[in-house]
Amino acid sequence: MAEYYLQTENMAVGYDRKTLIHDICIRIKKGEIVTLIGPNGSGKSTILKSITRQLKLIGGKVILDADDLHGYSYRKLSTKMAVVLTERMKPEMMTCHDIVATGRYPYTGKLGILSREDEKKVEEALAAVHALELGNRDFRAISDGQRQRVLLARAICQEPDIIILDEPTSFLDIRHKLELLSILRNMAKEKQITVVMSLHEIDLAQKISDKIICVKGEIISYCGEPEKIFQGDIIRDLYQIDKGYFDPCFGSIELPKPEGDPEVFVLSACGSGIPVFRKLQKENKPFAAGILYKNDIDYQVARVLASEVVTEEPFREIGDRALERARTLMRQAKVVINAGVTIGACNQRMEVLLAEAEEMKHYVVYK
């Protein structure tokens, strides 16, 4: 067996002989989960459609299981590859069971009548996506989340080695997103089924994928393990985020910080400041925060939202410089908010700051 299950060599894809993305070289091992991410319209679907042969290649080659993809007959390909597409279909009068059963197509006889064995496979597929109870319901009458699971069951039922999914999580709420992705992960790891999909939720992509491919118009800008992709500015570059902030470590996003000189000074520690920071940001009031240790959870949010953060290195006593800067900012502020400060052995000098704050006119204790 070849080292890679699916491999593209200088693949160029696009519509009507016009190239959209070129020089695509992807290498995917068996049982890997690979996710395509990128802004809307960057060509994720185009790549997926080219791999599933819905679109003709403009250049290059796709190699599936050591053979040229375009040398496969449709029939043979259907026993290796299954798809879950974005198009919303409205099949007439079909139960979910019927839909899933279509996955058995490559294995049934001339008239497509299901055998006992096929029936069992259908049930197993429905069970794998926790949709047994949906079997006899009309496909048009179920929710988006259920529909997506049924379509996944259909793909599983086809017993492929590789499943291609185009944005399987759109239209789903967070619970169903997680459910769907965990089913995919089980499938990939237990049955060694290769999964290639596109996702909009980069935070989820980071957590589920073995490999991530960043599609940015014309080219693949990055390709590799999520640990490498979710570092520094790769994601910001990919999506060209200039407003707001994306944290590659936690996968969290924040709206842009309020502009201007700080009007408020927030005293906090150990997470007490976060609700205050968010509230100030919503009211669009620029603020400063301090004195925070760099490993304090408040710091992670404050550095993104505050105009200025007074910091100290972890586990040290608060130094003169930090104290002086905090004092200055506090005096300049129109309001000083105490969000709750825990005081321990190192940060005893916070008491000095607090005492000074209590003397001030616009001192507020936030509860």
Partner 1 sequence: MKNQNITAAQNDFHKANLKRNIRYMIVFLVFAAAFVWITVWNINSGNVDISMKEILRIIFFREGEEMNYNIIWKIRLPRILMAAILGGALSLSGFLLQTFFENPIAGPFVLGISSGAKMVVALAMIYFIEKYHVVSSYTLIIAAFVGSMISLGFILLFSRRISHMATLLVGGIMIGYICSAITDFIVNFAEDSDIVNLHGWSQGSFSGMSWSNVQVSVIVIGITFVLTFLLSKPIGAFQLGEAYAQSMGVNIRFFRVTILVLSSILSATVTAFAGPISFVGIAVPFLVKKALNTAKPLVVIPATFLGGAVFCMFCDLIARLAFAPTELNISTVTSIFGAPIVIFMMLKKKGR
**Binding site residues, partner 1, CB under 8 A:** 52-54, 73-79, 81-83, 85, 87, 89, 91-95, 97-99, 102-103, 105-106, 108, 110-113, 119-120, 123-124, 126-127, 132-133, 135-136, 158
- Is the Cβ of residue 47 or residue 322 nearer to partner 1 in the bound state? 47
Sheet with 287-293, edge to edge strand ranges: 308-312, 287-293, 264-267, 335-338, 363-365
Task: Give the C-alpha distances (Å, rounded to integers) separating 170 from 85, 86, 183, 217, 284.
Answer: 11, 8, 16, 21, 31
Instruction: Find the shortest distance in angstroms from Cβ 80 to partner 1.
Output: 10
- Is the Cβ of residue 54 or residue 182 nearer to partner 1 in the bound state? 54
- Is the Cβ of residue 41 or residue 91 nearer to partner 1 in the bound state? 91
Biggest CA pair distance of the chain: 89
Measured between alpha carbons, how far is 283 from 286 in angstroms, rounded to an integer?
A: 9
Q: Identify each DSSP E strand in the chain by its residue range.
A: 6-15, 18-24, 27-28, 33-37, 59-64, 67-68, 81-84, 162-166, 194-198, 211-216, 219-224, 245-247, 252-254, 264-267, 287-293, 308-312, 335-338, 363-365
Instruction: Find the shortest distance in angstroms from Cβ 85 to partner 1.
Output: 6
- Is the Cβ of residue 9 or residue 98 nearer to partner 1 in the bound state? 98
- Is the Cβ of residue 81 or residue 267 nearer to partner 1 in the bound state? 81
Instruction: Find the shortest distance in angstroms from Cβ 82 to partner 1.
Output: 6
- Residue 61 has phi, psi (to 5 degrees) of -150, 150
Instruction: Find the shortest distance in angstroms from Cβ 115 to partner 1.
Output: 13
Instruction: Find the shortest distance in angstroms from Cβ 67 to partner 1.
Output: 16
CB of 33 within 8 A of CB of 208?
Answer: yes
- Is the Cβ of residue 40 or residue 73 nearer to partner 1 in the bound state? 73
The radius of gyration of the chain's CA atoms, rounded to the nearest angstrom, is 27
Instruction: Find the shortest distance in angstroms from Cβ 132 to partner 1.
Output: 4
Instruction: Find the shortest distance in angstroms from Cβ 130 to partner 1.
Output: 10
Pairing of the two strands 67-68 and 59-64? antiparallel
- Is the Cβ of residue 81 or residue 229 nearer to partner 1 in the bound state? 81
